[in-house]
Every structure is written in structure tokens, then in C-alpha cells.
């Protein structure tokens, strides 16, 4: 599980999120986005953003399709959420993503003031929440992000493993 910095109200967060079964339900929506990415021959990572208990944004990796190195699922969902709310401050949102955010995405999440991220599979090569770095907990930054990791980790990880196994097979 993730870390919850002391200055945040964990009781309020639990009320907003609704517990572990809710995490799994929302992560299923992110997995649907990841599956769309796979059908487009993109690395299968998906994200959804909630505000007020409803999905306001969703995205999946589109780096190949857009020829854009920043077109990660989280970045696309953050842009949609900001447009939906009419503000870059996503202070009342929760982001669900199937893979632990990388440094670029973690930085964007911090800049957007997202208070909570729930992620699926760990990313030992680029994870910036728990695996390589702990950007969400860095006290040198002016914002911290509560996070819960490893939600539906096996399913999220299997989607990625299958994608890369198939890529190697058909080279």
C-alpha cells in the first residue's frame, strides 16, 4: 500500500474513495483504457480521473500514434480533466492508473495538485512513486500526493507482460 502524509485527512480520503473494492472498480475502467492502447499497438497503460465520484477524464498511452514522447495515459487524462474542470488545479480529483507513474507523469500530477493517485503494477525501470523514486512524498516539494499502489497489480502487470512478450515474438 502507499503512503499517506500526515497533513492529509485520511478519513476524508476514505470517504471520497470508498475503500478497496471501489479502488478495484475504478481500476477496471483504467484497465479498459489500457486494453484500448494495446489494440492500437501502444504500451497498454490506461488512466481515469474522478471528481465528485464520477469519471471526468480518461486516457491511454498514445506515444506511437501521436509521435509524442509525452503522450502517456496520465498526461492525456490530466489534460482532459483540466479542460473538463476549466482549471489546471485538480485539487478534488483522484487519478487511477494501471502502471506506477514515471518521473514525468509524477511531476505533472504534482504540478496539477492531484491529491490522490491509485496505481496498479509497479514499474521497476521507471517508477517514481515507490520503485525508483518517491516523488509524491518528497518534503522538498510544495505538494505531496497520497497514493495507494498494487491495486489489481496482477491483472495490470499481466496486460503489460503479454504485450511485450507478443512484441518480442513477432519481431
The answer to whether the beta carbons of residues 43 and 59 sit under 8 Å apart is no
| DSSP letter assigned to residue 48 | E
Mark out the alpha helices in 19-132 (DSSP H runs): 20-39, 63-66, 73-85, 103-111
**Nearest Cα to 117, choosing from 129, 127, 125, 133?**
129
Task: Give the rounded distance of the alpha carbon of 118 from its chain centre.
Answer: 6
Residues 6+ away with beta carbon under 8 Å from 152? 24, 27, 28, 31, 98, 120
Q: Which of 33, 74, 100, 130 is catalytic?
A: 74
The answer to whether the beta carbons of residues 131 and 101 sit under 8 Å apart is no
> CA 63 → CA 43, 59, 91, 150, distances in Å?
9, 12, 27, 24
The question of whether 74 is a catalytic residue gets the answer yes
Residues with catalytic function: 74
Amino acid at each position: 500500500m502507499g503512503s499517506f502524509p500526515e497533513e492529509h485527512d485520511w478519513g476524508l480520503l476514505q470517504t471520497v474513495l470508498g475503500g478497496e473494492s471501489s479502488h478495484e472498480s475504478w481500476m477496471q475502467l483504467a484497465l479498459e483504457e489500457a486494453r484500448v492502447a494495446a489494440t492500437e499497438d501502444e504500451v497498454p497503460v490506461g488512466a481515469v480521473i474522478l471528481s465528485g465520484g464520477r469519471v471526468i477524464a480518461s486516457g491511454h498511452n498514445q506515444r506511437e500514434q501521436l509521435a509524442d514522447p509525452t503522450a502517456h495515459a496520465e498526461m492525456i487524462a490530466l489534460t482532459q480533466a483540466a479542460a473538463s474542470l476549466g482549471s489546471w488545479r485538480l485539487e478534488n480529483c483522484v487519478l487511477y492508473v494501471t502502471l506506477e507513474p514515471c518521473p514525468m507523469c509524477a511531476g505533472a500530477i504534482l504540478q496539477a495538485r492531484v491529491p490522490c493517485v491509485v496505481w496498479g503494477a509497479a514499474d521497476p525501470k521507471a517508477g517514481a512513486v515507490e520503485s525508483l523514486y518517491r516523488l509524491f512524498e518528497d518534503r522538498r516539494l510544495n505538494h505531496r500526493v497520497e497514493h495507494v499502489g498494487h491495486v489489481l497489480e496482477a491483472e495490470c502487470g499481466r496486460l503489460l507482460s503479454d504485450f511485450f512478450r507478443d512484441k518480442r515474438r513477432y519481431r
